[in-house]
Amino acid sequence: MNIDDFRRHAHEMVDWMADYLETVEDYPVRAQVAPGEIAAKLPDVPPEQGEAMETIFADFKRDVLPGITHWQHPNFLAYFPANASPPSVLAEMATATLGAQCMIWETSPAATEMETRMLDWLGQMLGLGEGWAGVIQDSASTATLCAILTARERALDWQGNAAGLAGQGGLTLYGSAETHSSIEKAAKIAGIGAAHCRKIPVDATGAMRADALAAQIEADVADGLTPICVVATLGTTGTGGVDPLRPLGEICRARELYLHVDAAWAGSALILPETRWMIEGIEAVDSFVFNPHKWLLTNFDCSAHFVREPDSLVRTLTILPEYLRSQRQGEVIDYRDWSVPLGRRFRALKLWFVIRSYGVEGLQEMVRRHIALAEDFAGWIEDAADFELVQPAKLALFCFRYRPAGVPAADLDALNRRLLTTLNDDGRIYLTQTVFAGDYVIRVSVGQTTTTAAHLVAAWDVIRDTAHRLAA
């Protein structure tokens, strides 16, 4: 493709992009295809000759789009949001065009220096306080893995890296029963083992019980095990539970345990001063992650990872073959030492575009609006006699179940499962589920860029009508 053709196709693509964003509501939210349906449209073998971009683009629209779940749809109420925005998309276009691989300072000084500055901006925006250094990871899972590896190495005086884990005895890791699965995955990858990943009971709000944590640590120490790390969650995936940082921090300080905070979703809400109660006790935290790619108008992927002691993270991950030495070694930040992969995208650019384009106030307005919308929606459910608000709105997430009179308690899980499947197969809205305190419940997560009160009024109608039809 020559540059003139590129220019022409790029303009066509931008027109399609704007049209798509304008008409995204016309699509079913969740892809309505069967397994294998898209694969059947893709040839078994690659083309020998190049094909015209017109043909490729037409096939994209005809064959690929039906297999897309529309995360930017205003009725996307599933999982957590991945809310994108036009400024972020523009930055992604520039990033893709530059095609820079920003593994070390020298391979694009602007990428490194902007990353440092953007993380500093984010730390200020969230009110994290002084004394942090930041890095952008691809995902919260990676940041948590890095934290757990650092905790392991710190506890083993960096001997795990040097000599392996044989003979190191049992290391243990602590999260709550509601902690995200990435913690257990990290325990497996880090050689700690899923069986040594303790799931501490939660209270009625879904927050980790500090007393139960302390008791479990005591019991493990008595059994000759070595506790190394606690992962606290702000905004659990199931119900938005918030673990209490201050008492967890006290336990960690007393035992010299590493304390990592997973605020993947709820971290964005910290741009609102009224939510900062969630980080009371942050002084005792060693590392903190949140995802601007969830709720801060920044396209996936962009995970902001803050650490108190960058030297510990770097010491855990660094490795220096001759081909990665550069003239500026030691004088500058080389972010390759701060993450698992060597190669790095220029992710800071989209943060720069987004934060400058909306300003802190614009972002605050959006998060505040989503929280208010979720609270209203939760209120409608609470007022409905045949529905139960199982967990109230925590930020912009709440959980409910359909509970019509006359249906035995033992049948409610199956009824709600059927309700969710029917709703998602219908395509007008998209919701997901969790199990809390043994009950199957439906989650509503508000946070898409263009979601308004009118969308939620309509969504509530769809939920009620569908539930009543199922019960009839």
Ligand X SMILES: Cc1ncc(COP(=O)(O)O)c(C=O)c1O
If you search the block for the tokens 């190669």, which residue do you land on? 343
* DSSP symbol at 65: G
- What does the alpha-carbon distance between residue 206 and residue 246 come to, in Å, rounded to a whole number? 16
Report CA torsion sign: 151, 152, 153, 155.
positive
Applying the rule CB under 6 A, the residues between 211 and 240 that interact with ligand X are: 233, 237
Which alpha helices (DSSP H) does 271-309 contain, by range? 292-295
- What does the alpha-carbon distance between residue 20 and residue 26 come to, in Å, rounded to a whole number? 9
Q: Is 291 in the site for ligand X (CB under 6 A)?
A: yes
Q: Is 290 in the site for ligand X (CB under 6 A)?
A: no
Which neighbouring-strand residues pair with 397? 394, 445
Taking CA atoms, 3 is separated from 10, 91, 100, 221, 338, in Å, by 10, 20, 19, 65, 37
- CB 119 → ligand X: shortest distance, Å? 16
Give 126 or 467: the residue with its C-beta nearer to ligand X: 126
Give 137 or 312: the residue with its C-beta nearer to ligand X: 137
Q: Is 430 in the site for ligand X (CB under 6 A)?
A: no
Task: Please identify which residue in 176, 303, 433, 448 interacts with ligand X, judged by CB under 6 A.
Answer: 303
Q: Is 141 in the site for ligand X (CB under 6 A)?
A: yes
CB 244 within 8 A of CB 203: no
Give 156 or 302: the residue with its C-beta nearer to ligand X: 302
Applying the rule CB under 6 A, the residues between 48 and 87 that interact with ligand X are: 80
Q: Is 95 in the site for ligand X (CB under 6 A)?
A: no
Q: Is 275 in the site for ligand X (CB under 6 A)?
A: no
- CB 410 → ligand X: shortest distance, Å? 30
- What does the alpha-carbon distance between residue 88 and residue 71 come to, in Å, rounded to a whole number? 15
Taking CA atoms, 80 is separated from 266, 408, 429, in Å, by 10, 31, 14
Query: CA neighbours within 13 Å on the CB side: how many for 231?
Result: 37
- CB 21 → ligand X: shortest distance, Å? 23
Q: How many residues bind ligand X (CB under 6 A)?
A: 13
Q: Is 140 in the site for ligand X (CB under 6 A)?
A: yes
Applying CB under 6 A, the span of 133-141, 202-210, 211-219, 221-229 interacting with ligand X comes to 133-141
Q: Is 139 in the site for ligand X (CB under 6 A)?
A: yes
Give 76 or 265: the residue with its C-beta nearer to ligand X: 265
Tokens of 416: 């709600």
Give 182 or 298: the residue with its C-beta nearer to ligand X: 182
Residue 133 backbone dihedrals phi, psi, to 5 degrees = -125, 145
Task: Please identify which residue in 262, 286, 334, 337 interacts with ligand X, judged by CB under 6 A.
Answer: 262
Applying CB under 6 A, the span of 88-96, 241-249, 260-268, 415-423 interacting with ligand X comes to 260-268
Which neighbouring-strand residues pair with 400? 389, 442
Task: Please identify which residue in 76, 105, 174, 265 interacts with ligand X, judged by CB under 6 A.
Answer: 265
- What does the alpha-carbon distance between residue 307 and residue 104 come to, in Å, rounded to a whole number? 19
Where along the sequence are the contacts to ligand X (CB under 6 A)? Answer: 80, 139-141, 180, 182, 233, 237, 262, 264-265, 291, 303
